[in-house]
Amino acid sequence: MSKTLTFKVGRTISAPSDAIWQVLGDFGTEHRWTKTLDRCDRDTAIPRVGMVRTCTLPKPLMGRSFVREELTEYQPGSALAYRLEGSAGPFASAASRWSLYSGDDGGTHVRVEGFFTVASPLATILVWPIVKPILQRITRRVIDELAAFITARQVAPP
């Protein structure tokens, strides 16, 4: 019996959703705006469901120094999701979903959800209480980096 553990993190960015999607929707180029990835390459020029990105990590995370992830959902302007190829440390599988929600103030709420299937019931009891806050902190930092990158693009002259 598999059990999926989840977390959610979100933040409102003071930018229209199309400005955020222009960056976020370019799946496979995240190394341009986050320090959590050294380099990414993708197997197709245009993001679409089924494409794979391979990214090198600056430091190993959950036993990995690189990741291969397949795009499993791609809704231009609103959401994308991807699944890690293989396991992630004590988890049999890992996946993430990013979604955008326009606010009344011109800002955009960015929400990230993480999904982890446990490989052993012990992971739920022993590992998840430690790993979940770490993953939430890393994800908040990545959203902050996205916001800073978009803000810098809005301020920079064309």
Q: What's residue 60's pLDDT?
A: 84
- Angstrom distance (rounded) from CA 6 to CA 94: 10
Total Cβ atoms within 10 A of residue 107: 17
List all residues 6 or more positions away from 52 whose beta carbon is below 8 Å from its beta carbon.
42, 43, 68, 69, 70, 71, 85
Residue 25 tokens read as 């929707």
43-72 mean pLDDT? 92
Half-sphere exposure in the Cβ direction for 31 (13 Å, CA): 15
The CA distance from 12 to 101, in Å, is 9
Average pLDDT over residues 87-97: 92
Model confidence band, residue 156 (pLDDT cutoffs 50, 70, 90): low
What pLDDT does 62 receive?
A: 72
- Residue 22 backbone dihedrals phi, psi, to 5 degrees: -55, -35
Beta pairing partners, 71: 82
Bridge-based pairing of strands 39-42 and 4-13 is unpaired
> What CATH number should be reported for the domain whose range is 4-155?
3.30.530.20
pLDDT in tens, 2-44: 589 999 999 999 999 999 999 999 999 999 999 999 999 999 9
Give residue 2's pLDDT: 57
The domain limits of the chain are 4-155
CA contacts within 13 A on the Cβ side of 17: 17
Enter the pTM of the model.
Answer: 0.92
Residues 99-135 pLDDT 10s: 999 988 889 999 999 999 998 888 888 989 999 999 9
Alpha carbons 114 and 93: distance in angstroms, whole number? 11
Q: What are residue 61's DSSP bridge partners?
A: 64
Neighbouring residues of 108: CB distance < 8 A, sequence distance ≥ 6: 12, 13, 15, 16, 17, 20, 100, 101, 102
Which pLDDT belongs to residue 1? 44
> For residue 60, what is the enclosing H or E element?
strand 52-61
